[in-house]
Amino acid sequence: MKIAVIGCGNMGYALIRGILSGYPKLSQLDAVDAVAEIFDGFSFHEKLKKNVVLEEAIAAADVIMLAVKPADADALIRRMKPHLSKQQRIVSVMAGISTTKLASKLGVSKVVRVMPNLPAKIRKAVLCYYATAALSDAERAEVDQILSCCGKTIFVREEGLLDAATAISGTGPAYVFFLMDVMMKQARFMGFDEVQAQELVMYTLMGSSDLIYHEGVSPQTLIARVASKGGTTEAALHVLEQKAVADDIGKAIQAALARSKELGNNEA
């Protein structure tokens, strides 16, 4: 399998690292970027060809991954179109650009659209994706395996759910960092130093998410388990309920959803 990654910034680089370390069927990975210096920090890998000319990478690839900013998409599409063939698969991580738009502008039919998130950098992303009907089950499974190199994949049969994924998992790391920041400030206020505060909060989050993963139960079940009658957790939860914090978080997620749809409409 020959893969080309076009755009090797934050997300492109994360995809490349994941694929190189985890995709067994890879024979060659061509990396293309507008800026040659971007490859200075890339380490050597026998299957990686850096700074390949776009047209050459496209001619060679079975799967072409697009990771440029949405604003650069139109110029890229115009350059790519004459060199594409029908059997090639396009996998786009570009936010807000529909498979219909990509397919019609590129003149191809096998298109996969992915919403990854920031932890792709350490191969712990959630990658929610939609595939057009032109991909066979085997072709989609292959793309799934490629994406799995960067984390957990979730396949959706409705493209509109990618806006929801943007609001939940794409934007999600920022919700978690926000909560961590609030907790850390309180820890500092109570007397911990900066390093201790970050460790207290970070390990609490990592331990809690590992626990829920291993036990396979709902957050509500675990909340009930830690909140003993008259205890500290109950006191904290009482304030969260009184202040309707859950409603406010819901509103924040809805705002992200609305913005994702709006950006998508502007791109259409």
Asked whether 15 and 40 are in contact (CB, 8 A), the reply is: no
Min separation Cβ 66 and ligand NAP, Å: 8
Which is closer to ligand NAP, CB of 54 or CB of 197? 54
Q: Which residues bind ligand NAP (CB under 6 A)?
A: 6-12, 32-35, 38, 54, 67-70, 72, 75-76, 93-95, 116-118, 170
Min separation Cβ 115 and ligand NAP, Å: 6
Q: How many CB atoms neighbour CB 112 within 10 A?
A: 25
End-to-end CA distance of the chain: 32
Min separation Cβ 166 and ligand NAP, Å: 8
Min separation Cβ 237 and ligand NAP, Å: 32
Which is closer to ligand NAP, CB of 101 or CB of 197? 101
Which is closer to ligand NAP, CB of 9 or CB of 22? 9
Min separation Cβ 34 and ligand NAP, Å: 4
Which is closer to ligand NAP, CB of 51 or CB of 222? 51
With b meaning 16 or more CB within 10 Å and e meaning fewer, what string describes 71-92? eebeebbeebeeebeeebbbbb
Min separation Cβ 33 and ligand NAP, Å: 4
Of all residues in the shown chain, the one whose CB is closest to ligand NAP is: 9
Which is closer to ligand NAP, CB of 162 or CB of 197? 162
Which is closer to ligand NAP, CB of 3 or CB of 197? 3
Angle among Cα 163, 61, 27 to the nearest 5 degrees reads 110
Min separation Cβ 202 and ligand NAP, Å: 20
Which is closer to ligand NAP, CB of 93 or CB of 106? 93
Distance CA 136, CA 169 (A): 27
Q: Which of 143, 130, 146, 141 is nearest to 97 (CA)?
A: 130
